[in-house]
Structure 1
Amino acid sequence: MILKRLELINFKIHSLLELDFTTGINYIVGDNGIGKTSILDSVYYLGLTRNPYNISDNKFVQFDKDFFWIKGFFLSDDNSPENIEVFYHINNGKRVNRNEKTYKNFSSHLGLIPILFICPADIYELVHIQENRRKFIDQILSQQNKNYLNALQQYQKFLLQRNHLLKQQSDYGKNFTNMLDAINSNLIPLNAKIYKYRAKLVDEINNLICNIFYSISDIDIPVSISYESNVNIENVNNLYNESIDNDLRLMHTTVGIHRDKFYFIFNGDDISLIASQGQQKLFIIALKLSMYQWLSSHYNEHAILLLDDIFDKLDEKRTDRLLEQLFQFNLSQIFITDTDKNRVVDNVNKVIKL
Structure 2
Amino acid sequence: MYLERLYLKNFKNYDELTLELEDGINCIIGPNGIGKTNLIDAVYMLSMTKSAFSFTENQNVKHGASDFALSGRFKTENDLSTVICQYDKSKKKISLNGKEYNRFSEHFGKFPCVLIAPNDTDLLREGSEVRRRYFDSVISQFDKEYLQSLINYQRALLQRNQLLKNFAEQRQIPNKEWVAPYDHVLLKEGRIIQNKRKSFIEEFIVSFKEAYETLAGEEVADINYKSDFGSDTIFEETWQKDIALQRTTKGIHKDDFDFRLNAYPLKKFGSQGQQKSFIIALKLGQFLLLKKQLQTSPILLLDDIFDKLDDIRIKKLLGLIKEKKFSQILLSDARPERSKTLIEQISMPCNIIELKK
Q: TM-score, normalised by structure 2?
A: 0.91
Who is 1:311 aligned against?
A: 306
Distance 1:316 1:255, change over 3 A: same
Who is 2:28 aligned against?
A: 28
Partner SS state of residue 301, structure 1 = coil
Residue-by-residue CA offset, 1:151-175 (whole Å, 9 max, x unaligned): 0000011111211222233769799
Residue-by-residue CA offset, 1:226-271 (whole Å, 9 max, x unaligned): 1110012xx3x22222222222222211111100011111222221
Separation in 2, partners of 1:57, 1:155: 25
Residue-by-residue CA offset, 1:249-308 (whole Å, 9 max, x unaligned): 222111111000111112222211111222211110111110111111111332111110
Q: Are the equivalent residues in 2 in contact too, given 1:6–1:18 (CA < 8 A)? A: yes
Separation in 2, partners of 1:274, 1:17: 45
Q: Offset of 1:185 from its aligned partner? A: 1.6
Q: Specify which of 325, 341, 345 is matched with residue 320 of structure 2.
A: 325
Residue-by-residue CA offset, 1:125-171 (whole Å, 9 max, x unaligned): 11111211110001101111111110000001111121122223376
Separation in 2, partners of 1:248, 1:56: 32
Matching residue's letter, 1:16: E
Who is 1:48 aligned against?
A: 48
Who is 2:281 aligned against?
A: 286
Separation in 1, partners of 2:9, 2:187: 46
Map 1:331-342 to 2 at 5 A. 331-341=326-336, 342=341
Who is 1:127 aligned against?
A: 124
Q: Are the equivalent residues in 1 in contact too, given 2:37–2:332 (CA < 8 A)? A: yes
Who is 1:231 aligned against?
A: 229
Q: Are the equivalent residues in 2 in contact too, given 1:212–1:286 (CA < 8 A)? A: yes
Q: Offset of 1:92 from its aligned partner? A: 4.0
Separation in 2, partners of 1:204, 1:101: 35
Partner SS state of residue 7, structure 1 = strand
Residue-by-residue CA offset, 1:15-51 (whole Å, 9 max, x unaligned): 2211111212222222222221111100011011110
Matching residue's letter, 2:240: D
Q: Offset of 1:315 from its aligned partner? A: 2.4
Distance 1:329 1:210, change over 3 A: farther
Give aligned-pair identity as a percent: 35
Q: Offset of 1:85 from its aligned partner? A: 0.9
Separation in 2, partners of 1:348, 1:138: 35
Who is 2:290 aligned against?
A: 295
Matching residue's letter, 1:200: S
Map 1:150-165 to 2 at 5 A. 150-165=148-163
Aligned length: 347
Separation in 1, partners of 2:352, 2:273: 27
Distance 1:67 1:174, change over 3 A: closer
Separation in 1, partners of 2:32, 2:331: 14
Q: What do you get for the CA RMSD once the two structures are aligned? A: 2.0
Structure 2 unaligned regions, length at least 5: none
Distance 1:267 1:127, change over 3 A: same
Distance 1:205 1:328, change over 3 A: farther
Distance 1:185 1:313, change over 3 A: closer
Q: Specify which of 229, 245, 248 is matched with residue 253 of structure 1.
A: 248
Who is 1:186 aligned against?
A: 185
Who is 1:217 aligned against?
A: 216
Who is 2:7 aligned against?
A: 7
Deviates more, 1:240-249 or 1:268-277: 240-249
Who is 2:239 aligned against?
A: 244
Partner SS state of residue 72, structure 1 = strand
Separation in 1, partners of 2:149, 2:284: 26
Q: Offset of 1:207 from its aligned partner? A: 1.5
Q: TM-score, normalised by structure 1?
A: 0.92
